[in-house]
Amino acid sequence: MVPPVQVSPLIKTARWSALLIGLIYGKQRYDYLKPIAAEEKRIEEEEKKLREEQERIYKQLSEGLSDTLI
């Protein structure tokens, strides 16, 4: 087997510090995006409720109209 190559210290430090920085960056970005997404979900829920309410009213009205259309 080929003997393992001795990696230069510069490359080793660069690799593992890139790993660490990536870890920190991923965690911070996740923490930043989570409340924003929760807020958007909440707004979406409210708008959906509003829309469904309006559709219900519309349906009831249209049923009422179709009852009187002879």
Smallest gap from residue 49 Cβ to other proteins (A): 22
CA distances from 18 to 6, 9, 31, 51, 59 (A): 20, 14, 20, 48, 59
Tokens at 29, concatenated: 């970005």
Binding flag, residue 65, other proteins (CB under 8 A) = no
Run of H or E including 28: helix 9-68
Give the shortest CB-43-to-other proteins separation in angstroms.
14
69 binds other proteins (CB under 8 A): no
- Where on the chain is the footprint of other proteins (CB under 8 A)? 1, 4-16, 18-30, 33-34, 36-38
